[in-house]
């Protein structure tokens, strides 16, 4: 297993590579990541949403089923390679702290990846799911509606805080994945924190780019403006705080600082 200090070194190397990607490559990788996360969301709807009897008698088990199936998206992002906005919220911070990367480069990457993630998630929501009628009958359609209505029913502050919790755990999952040295270890390391955040009910902006538009396509009484204002904006801001402030910043400070001290000596 890689130590926390070794993980920071890996993060720094990955960030340098990400910063050198051409814009087209970044966007293509981001579209793929948005699609992968959406596939995880679709699988969770099929498995957990297809278990209404369990939901009535033991809702905790249904939440767990939802959380247990969703992580396939992030596992794909990490193992086969893709650009995910929420993971990148933490990736770039250690290099910003060491002043080897400018904040402008970070914002450029985040913007491109966020756009690409949205395209990928919308593609899976509309083309792969809506046009194929996979979830347009009960009990799946009820789950689709309930998810979207629940996600757009909270205050800005509540969704923002839930966004912090989601990406805190997502970025820890990415960090743990880099600590593992084989594919099996990476899968387990990623699965556990992602399962936890989904089961708890936190808000992940990229996942919500799939869940809520899918409900809109399927006829839910939710507007695009409500999607943006009531969920996507506060969830995104919370995700940035959760990844950058609660993962990238402390680990970059704690373990990247040691490397900088050694270099200065």
Region 222-226: mean pLDDT is 98
Residues ≥6 apart with Cβ < 8 Å to 32: 82, 83, 120
pLDDT band at 46 (very low <50, low <70, confident <90, very high): very high
The pLDDT assigned to 257 comes to 63
Looking at every residue in the chain, the average pLDDT score rounds to 94
Is the pLDDT at 55 greater than 70, yes or no? Answer: yes
Is the pLDDT at 112 greater than 70, yes or no? Answer: yes
The whole model's pTM is what?
A: 0.94
> How far apart, in whole angstroms, are the C-alpha atoms of residue 249 and residue 174?
15
- Tell me the CB-side half-sphere exposure of residue 208, using CA atoms within 13 A: 31
pLDDT band at 53 (very low <50, low <70, confident <90, very high): confident
Region 39-57: mean pLDDT is 93
Region 160-174: mean pLDDT is 98
The pLDDT assigned to 144 comes to 98
Q: Spell 133-159 as b/e; 16+ CB within 10 A means b.
A: eebeeebbbebbbebbeebbebeeeeb
Assign a CATH topology to domain 4-255: Glycerol uptake facilitator protein (1.20.1080)
> How far apart, in whole angstroms, are the C-alpha atoms of residue 65 and residue 50?
10
Per-domain residue ranges for the chain? 4-255
By the 8 A CB rule, do 204 and 160 touch? no
The pLDDT assigned to 229 comes to 98
Task: Tell me what percent of the chain is helix, strand and coil, each rounded to the nearest 5.
Answer: 85, 0, 15
Two tokens, residue 74: 């992030």
Is the pLDDT at 210 greater than 60, yes or no? Answer: yes
Task: State the greatest distance between any 2 C-alpha atoms of the chain, in Å, as a whole number.
Answer: 66
Region 203-218: mean pLDDT is 98
Region 180-190: mean pLDDT is 96
* Percent of the chain clearing pLDDT 90 (strictly above): 89
- The values of phi and psi at residue 88, to 5°, are -70, -20
By the 8 A CB rule, do 94 and 60 touch? no
Is the pLDDT at 263 greater than 60, yes or no? Answer: no
Two tokens, residue 138: 């009960």
Residues ≥6 apart with Cβ < 8 Å to 67: 44, 194, 195, 196, 197, 198, 199, 200
Residue appearing with tokens 């990457």: 109
> How far apart, in whole angstroms, are the C-alpha atoms of residue 144 and residue 205?
16
pLDDT band at 243 (very low <50, low <70, confident <90, very high): very high
β strands within the chain, DSSP E? none
Is the pLDDT at 34 greater than 60, yes or no? Answer: yes
Region 60-85: mean pLDDT is 97
Is the pLDDT at 220 greater than 90, yes or no? Answer: yes
Region 205-223: mean pLDDT is 98
pLDDT band at 56 (very low <50, low <70, confident <90, very high): confident
């Amino acid at each position: 297993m890689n130590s926390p200090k070794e993980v920071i070194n890996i993060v720094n190397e990955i960030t340098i590579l990400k910063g050198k990607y051409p814009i087209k490559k970044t966007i293509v990788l981001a579209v793929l990541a948005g699609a992968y996360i959406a596939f995880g969301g679709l699988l969770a709807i099929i498995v957990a949403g297809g278990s209404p009897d369990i939901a009535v008698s033991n809702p905790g088990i249904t939440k767990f089923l939802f959380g247990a199936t969703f992580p396939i998206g992030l596992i794909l992002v990490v193992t086969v390679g893709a650009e995910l906005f929420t993971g990148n919220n933490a990736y770039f911070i250690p290099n910003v702290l060491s002043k080897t990367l400018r904040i402008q480069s970070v914002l450029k990457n985040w913007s491109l990846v966020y756009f690409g993630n949205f395209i990928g998630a919308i593609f899976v929501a509309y083309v792969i799911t809506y046009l194929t009628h996979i979830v347009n009958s009960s009990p799946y359609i009820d789950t689709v509606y309930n998810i979207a209505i629940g996600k757009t029913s909270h205050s800005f502050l509540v969704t923002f805080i839930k966004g912090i919790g989601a990406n805190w755990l997502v970025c820890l999952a990415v960090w743990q994945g880099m600590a593992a040295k084989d594919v099996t270890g990476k899968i387990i390391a990623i699965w556990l924190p992602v399962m936890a955040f989904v089961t708890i009910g936190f808000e992940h902006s990229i996942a919500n780019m799939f869940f809520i538009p899918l409900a809109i396509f399927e006829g839910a009484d939710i507007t695009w403006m409500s999607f943006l204002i009531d969920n996507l904006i506060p969830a995104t801001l919370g995700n940035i705080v959760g990844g950058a402030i609660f993962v990238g910043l402390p680990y970059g400070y704690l373990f990247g600082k040691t490397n900088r001290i050694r270099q200065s000596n």
